Amino acid sequence: MMTRIVLTVFLFTIAKIGLGQQLNIDKIRKDYAEAVKDEDLCERNFDILDEGAKSTTEKVYRAAYEILMAKHMGNPFKKISQFKEGKKHLEEMIKNNPNHIEARFIRWSVQVHAPSFLGYKENIIEDKNFLVKNLHKLPNEEAKSIIYNYLKGANPYLKGGQVFTIAELKELAQ
C-alpha cells in the first residue's frame, strides 16, 4: 500500500514536471509585442509567469503581461481593474529596482500605448532618457536587441518629445 502511494506521488510529480510549461524569459521577451494582439499567447505567458516568476526580470514581465491581459477583456470595469493591478505591480518593481533597464522599458511601452483617460503617462520622457543612457549596459545581448528593435519600430508612431532622434537611436544601438 505504501509503495503504491509513493509510486503515485512520484508519477504525479514527474507528470507535472514533464507537462508543466517552463519559464523561458527569452521567449517571453520575444512574445511581448505579439501578446498585445494575441490573447491566447498573452494568457499562456501570464500563466507561466504567474506560476514561476522568481527573478526581478521575470516579475517585471509578469506585471507587463498582467497589464496586457486587460486589453483582451470585454468588461470595461474588469479591464480598468486588471490594468491598475498590473500597473501597481510594475511600479512596485521599479520603486524597488529603479535602475532595472527592462522594467523601465516595460513602463515606457505601457505608458506610450495606454489610453490617456487612464492617466498613466507621467514617466514617458524620463524612461525614454533612461533607456537612451542605459540600454547599452544590459548584459543580455538578445534582450538589448529586442528592446532596441521595439523602440526603433515604435518611433514612427510617437509624438513630440517621445520621438527618438537619430542621435538617440544611434546611442541606443550601441
Specify the pLDDT at position 174. Answer: 86
10 assigned to some structural domain: no
113-160: pLDDT as tens digits:
999 999 999 999 999 999 999 999 999 999 999 999 999 999 898 988
How many structural domains are present in the chain? 1
35 assigned to some structural domain: yes
Pick the more confident residue, 23 or 3: 23
86 assigned to some structural domain: yes
16 assigned to some structural domain: no
Task: Give the integer Cα–Cα distance in Å for 85 and 78.
Answer: 10
Backbone torsions φ then ψ of 55, nearest 5 degrees: -75, 165
Q: Which residues contact 137 (CB under 8 A, 6 or more apart)?
A: 101
64-98: pLDDT as tens digits:
999 999 999 999 999 999 999 999 999 999 999 99
Task: Give the integer Cα–Cα distance in Å for 79 and 86.
Answer: 11
Specify the pLDDT at position 157. Answer: 87
**Cβ 58 vs Cβ 25: under 8 Å:** yes
8 assigned to some structural domain: no
Residue 112 CB neighbour total at 10 angstroms: 17
153 assigned to some structural domain: yes
Q: Give the start-end residues of each E strand in 43-170.
A: none
The mean pLDDT value for 43-50 works out to: 97
What single letter denotes the amino acid at residue 130? F
18-38: pLDDT as tens digits:
445 689 999 999 999 999 999
103 assigned to some structural domain: yes
The angle subtended at Cα 21 by Cα 35 and Cα 31, nearest 5°, is: 20
Task: Give the integer Cα–Cα distance in Å for 10 and 147.
Answer: 42
167 assigned to some structural domain: yes
Specify the pLDDT at position 3. Answer: 54
Residue 162 belongs to what domain range?
22-172
